[in-house]
Amino acid sequence: MTKYVFVTGGVTSSLGKGIIAASIAKLLQARGFSTTIQKFDPYINVDPGTLNPYEHGECYVTEDGAETDLDLGHYERFLNVPTSQANNVTTGRIYQTVINKERAGAYLGKTVQIIPHITDEIKRRMLLLGSSGEYDIVITEIGGTVGDIESLPYIEAIRQLRWELGADNCITVHLTLIPFLSAAGELKTKPTQHSVKELLSAGIQPDILVCRTEHPLSMALRRKLSLFCNLATNAVIEARDAYSIYDVPILMLKEKLDLTIITKLRLADRKEPDLTKWKKFLGKLKNPVHEVRIGLVGKYLELQDAYKSIYEALVHAGVSNECKVEVVPVHSEDINADNIERKLMNLAGIIVAPGFGERGIEGKIKAIQYVREHNIPFLGICLGMQCAVVEFARNVVGLSDAASTEMNPDTATPIIALMQDQKEVQNLGGTMRLGSYNCQLTKGSLIEGIYRQKNIKERHRHRFEFNNEYLEALQNAGMQATGINPDTQLVEAVELPNHRWFVGVQFHPEYKSTVENPHPLFVDFVRECLVDKV
């Protein structure tokens, strides 16, 4: 029978619930359990695709084209198994399902209410992945903080499931903060006590308490928490601030979090966790031989979470090259003809980031012109590739008003434009080209050498495409389309054979980079940047 672990959060947001959930899953996977993680988010958007990256960080895209919370990226990077639409559910999606059923007449004669109709739909989805029989353990992270009005139906659903499935099959791990008051020189447990009371008043006794803290939790403090929160001391787990998110599974292993979980779930007869590969990765991460500075040109740079997967893909690629990658954020809006040299000259390579809308676009184009002309390694991702095409069309082919119709709908040279199917789109939620598509790489191209295969699959999230009417002009001038979608003939990758390393990809390679399988494009890009690093 599938067992369920729920992860809730208390006291404040941003405690790293996603990393704790992913670490639990990693440890259980390393013990030989088949494990998956899902996230339930208590907001009304049907998916995070319509949220501003400033507010919610990156929108992560799964193989099957779901726009999801960035925590799913952590799940894939830690576990090395793909997630899907079913792994991320929002309140919006729950209500949409219930309301659609109501309109279809599924509840005729009944008053449709939060309890039982919304909570039943939450429970149905909480059990959905487990019902396939594929997993020994399903970990469910509940977004938000216990005590928020909007998370109440989720907490109630967990309470009911615990009752229905039994305490051996369903447990709750509660993550809280133990703040350090420097004036008093003390760690304080009161906010955690209150948070646990909040859960208790909703009918849930947490089985394990994971305490985020800047300082070690003394035995006395663990005893205090144990007494006031009705838990054995071994169920009070310390989660100290870590050097890297990839340290957290090891820290949790030292605290025996996995052992406590499997004991509570009566699964304790499994082998010790095998984390050989993980530890090797960590060893290299902490002992780099080289260092390299890579510029990330984008516009949501104040918030690292907005480009989470790119940052992590660079960490993985750095480890593969035994190198520490320092990512230097370069605001595309701040780039102009006077400062470009100063901003870019000390960088070994640049990545131009994905993005939407006109803001900052000319800065991206200027940066690309600079690296093209100075033979500096360049990786353009999605909008980054589109900008590379526009730059080349304008400055090399001589099509001076070349533009994407996203930025300039009236341009006479729509080199990046909407295809017919996108022109017909009316609703903007969930209607981009999303998820995994086939791509065929040109024999002998740089990118084919990097992937070492001809047919690849990569994930997409965009509306606009390269306009094939201009393909010949570009190829004649030296920009080659080296990745083509074999089903639609859309251009998925471009490169400049005369440049030392210049690749633009319409897809998002960063979504597929994991600790175990660093993405070849990032690995090779970092390798090239190291050749004459700055």
> For ligand GLN, what does the binding mask look like between residues 460 and 479, x meaning CB under 6 A?
-xxxx---------------
Spatial contact of 174 and 8, defined as CB atoms under 8 Å apart: yes
- What is d(CA 436, CA 141) in angstroms, rounded to the nearest whole number? 25
| 327: three-class secondary structure by DSSP | strand
**Which stretch in 1-9, 43-51, 252-260, 457-465 sits in contact with ligand GLN by CB under 6 A?**
457-465
CA angle (371 as vertex; 369, 373 as ends), nearest 5: 65
- Tell me the Cα Rg of the chain: 25
42 is an interface residue for ligand GLN by CB under 6 A: no
Binder of ligand GLN out of 295, 355, 360, 509 (CB under 6 A):
355
Smaller CB separation from ligand GLN, 153 or 298: 298
382 in active site: yes
Of the pair 231, 382, the CB lying nearest ligand GLN is at 382
Q: How many residues form the binding site for ligand GLN (CB under 6 A)?
A: 10
Q: Closer CB to ligand GLN, residue 15 or residue 432?
A: 432
What pairing do the DSSP bridges indicate for beta strands 455-462 and 433-441?
antiparallel
The nearest distance, CB 429 to ligand GLN, in angstroms, is 14
Cβ proximity to ligand GLN: between 179 and 355 the closer is 355
Q: Around Cβ 159, how many Cβ atoms within 10 Å?
A: 17
| Closer by beta carbon to ligand GLN, 383 or else 523 | 383
Q: Which residues contact 14 (CB under 8 A, 6 or more apart)?
A: none
Compute φ and ψ for 29, nearest 5 degrees.
-60, -40
**322 given a catalytic annotation:** no
Pairwise CA distance, residues 273 & 258, whole Å: 9
b/e burial code for range 457-478 (CB count within 10 A of at least 16 → b): ebbbbbbbbbbbebbebbeeee
Classify residue 142 by burial, with Cβ atoms within 10 Å: 0-12, 13-18, 19+. buried
Q: Is 22:189 a contact under the CB 8 Å cutoff? A: no
Should residue 406 be labelled a site residue for ligand GLN when binding is judged by CB under 6 A?
yes
Catalytic-role residue among 174, 499, 508, 519: 508
- For the segment 369-388, give every residue that binds ligand GLN (CB under 6 A): 382-383
Q: E-assigned strands of 410-454?
A: 413-418, 433-441
Segment near ligand GLN (CB under 6 A); pick from 260-268, 274-282, 458-466, 520-528? 458-466
Query: Between residues 462 and 519, which has the closer beta carbon with respect to ligand GLN?
Result: 462
The region of 132-140, 213-221, 348-356, 362-370 touching ligand GLN under the rule CB under 6 A is 348-356
Q: How far is the CB of 328 from ligand GLN (least distance, A)?
A: 20
Question: What's the one-letter identity of residue 195?
Answer: S
Binding residue for ligand GLN (CB under 6 A) from 284, 331, 356, 395? 356
Positions touching ligand GLN (CB under 6 A) are: 354-356, 382-383, 406, 461-464
| Active-site amino acid positions | 382, 508, 510
